[in-house]
Structures are given as C-alpha cells and as structure tokens.
Amino acid sequence: MAIDALSRKAGALAVIAATGLSLAFIPAPALAGTPAHRPPAPATAGVQVADAPDVPKLPDGLSALSWAVTDAESGSVLAAKDLHRRLPPASTLKTLFAVTALPKFAADSVRQVSAADLEGVGAGSSLVGVTEGGSYTVADLWRGVFLRSGNDAVHVLASMNGGWDATAREMQQKARSLGAEDTTVQSPDGYDTPGQVSSAYDLTVFARAGLANADFARYCSTAQADFPTASGVTRIENTNRLLSGAGGMTRYPGIIGVKNGYTTNAGNTLIAAARRDGHTLLVTVMNPQSGQANGVYKEAASLLDWGFESVDKAEPISSMTRAVAQSPQVQPAAHTTQTDERGGSPWRDALALWAGGIGATVLAMGAAVAWRLHARRRAAAARRPEVP
C-alpha cells in the first residue's frame, strides 16, 4: 500500500508536468510540506561583502539604513548592510500583498466598487483614482497597485479577499511560509502603522517569489498604462523612476521593475530587479539618509552596477534558496508602453519558466521517489527469511 501511494504521488507529478503547471511558481514550503526558515541573522551588524579576489569595491555614497544585493536565480546574497534590520517598508510591502492575493482573482473579472471597499484609506495615501460606484477589472486594480501604488486599489482588492484584517493575517502567514521572519504586517498597503516592519532580506524574498509569477512580472514591469475614469481613461505612469526614466532619472539598462515606496516613517524604499548578461539581480534599499534627490534610485543603481560586476566573483554571505522552488528568469522590460493583457515580453518569459526548469525539478523529485521505493524494497527483502 505504501508503495502504491508513492506511485500515485509520482503519477501526480507527471500530470503536473504534462499540463504545463510550473513548479517554479510554487513556494518551496508548499512542495516540502514544512515551513521554510531563513538562515540565522548574522552575528555582526553593518556591511557584509565577500572577501574574494577580483570583487570590486562597493560604491561610494551608500547611505541607506539597510540594503541587499541578491542573485535572483540562486538566492545568493552577494552583499548587504544590516540584512535583517527591521524597518518600516512603506509600499514595498505591496509585493507581499501581491504574492498573497494576486493568484486568487482572474484578471478580467470585474468589481463594482462600494463605499465599504474604500473605507479606511489612510489620509495622505497615494491613490490611483478608484471611485465608489465605478467598475474595474482586476487587471485595472493591479495596475493601480503596481504603477501608482494606489492604496485605494489595495483596499478594493483586500475587500475582495475577505477584508482588511483577514488579508493582513494571510499576508503574515504567507511571509512566514516563505521564510521571511522579520516582517510584521499591520496594514496591507504599507501605510505607516505602529509595529509594521520588514527587512531587506524579507522584501527581497517577496520580490523573488513574485517574479516567479507571470502576472506579477508583467505588472511590475509596466511603465505606462490606461486606467478607467468616469469620463473615459487616463494614462498612468509607474512611479518607479528606474523603470520609467522620469523625474530626472535615466531608465536603468536591463530593468525589470518591481516596487518603490515612501512614507514619513519609512523614508524612501525600493526593490529593483534588472537582468544583464544572463543574470537577474535584485537590489533592496531601505531609507537612504543622504538627502539627495532621487537618492534611493541612485543608490540602487550603483548597487546593481556593482552586482553585475561581482556576480561571478563574490562568494555569498547568505542565501534564500528555500524561499522559492525555482528562481525567476524574466527578461528586462521592453522600453514600450504595456497595456494589453497579453502584451509585453517579461511576463511571457516568466510564464515560460516551467519549460526551462520544470524538467530538472520533476526529474529530481522522481529520483527521490524512486530511491525511496528502492530502499523500502531492500528493507522488505532483509526482513524475509532466507530460503536454503
């Protein structure tokens, strides 16, 4: 019977592969059936970087309270400052909101917004312009979240997800299941709330998990889109200046996107992903202290530059390999406006992840099942009496 159960499990894996469902999109804890735990926080605070030959010097002018440079494919942290320091995340916490809620609703489903949906939107919140009585597709709402950091759109989606408090609890559970132990969720939109914190490590985990989802990859890489209004549509632009190239910044070469944020308590925060020469890097920057205009973008860009020069040289100082079963391999965002639900290369490349990685994953799991079967047969044979 035990062998039959294992055979059925192996058959289920074959069905998953045959239907094209990607194990790349499933967090490792879901595959293993046990919660993931991150490596322990480093014993010493401050900047950590591999002391290896040919690793370039870190860029000058880094003033952020915490930051991290991570190889998105391997999960290796190449350098960091106070990797697990708990700080207010601002709207970068919306990455965890998206990882939690985005897979639940079809992009073309429509929500007519009620007054209850918008109840509790914080004073001074960033808004995309959702109005009571208006009808919006789920895709419209997610573009409002990713491009304009719209807390109004977050409130509507959270209402669809069972309510504000229920969504906060679910996000907390999702964070722990991904091995993100520095995060406390109080407000799903990242609004300044007492006790709400995350870390450069955890925010990188959320971005990594998100980029393994085709819809997340598409939304976070969209520079401009149309958003419905009572009088028609309006054009909205992504507030991530490394992606849009607006506000005095130049669009970063190979940029994929992800999420920026700002609140009074958090200062400026940013998770930026870029791809170059076959490598995808994630840089998370929390609360630069320099006071420079665009400081968070300038520091993130300089860390990305350092990371691309160091990715084949630096030994990792930490790892988050258990956070996602298969690392993201999306392509840089095309320098075009993306508004079509089926347009834009980044999400197509993310959707194609299973083709590149699922074979190895299924073969490895199949080998594990076969080994267990073999071991059980040997144990059974050992228990049988020898026949003269």
**Residues known to be catalytic:** 91, 94, 149
Three-state secondary-structure class, residue 255: strand
Between CA 39 and CA 26 the distance in angstroms is 20
Amino acid 290 reads: S
Q: Judge whether 262 and 290 are in contact, CB under 8 Å.
A: no
Query: Which tokens sit at 282?
Result: 């994630």
3-state helix, strand, coil in the chain (%, to 5): 40, 15, 45
Half-sphere exposure of 43 (CA within 13 A, CB side): 0
CA–CA gap between residue 196 and residue 248 (Å, rounded): 31
Q: Let me know: does 91 contact 114? Beta carbons within 8 Å.
A: no
Give kind and range of the element (H or E) at residue 274. Answer: strand 267-276
Residues 6+ apart with CB under 8 A from 186: 168, 193, 194, 195, 196
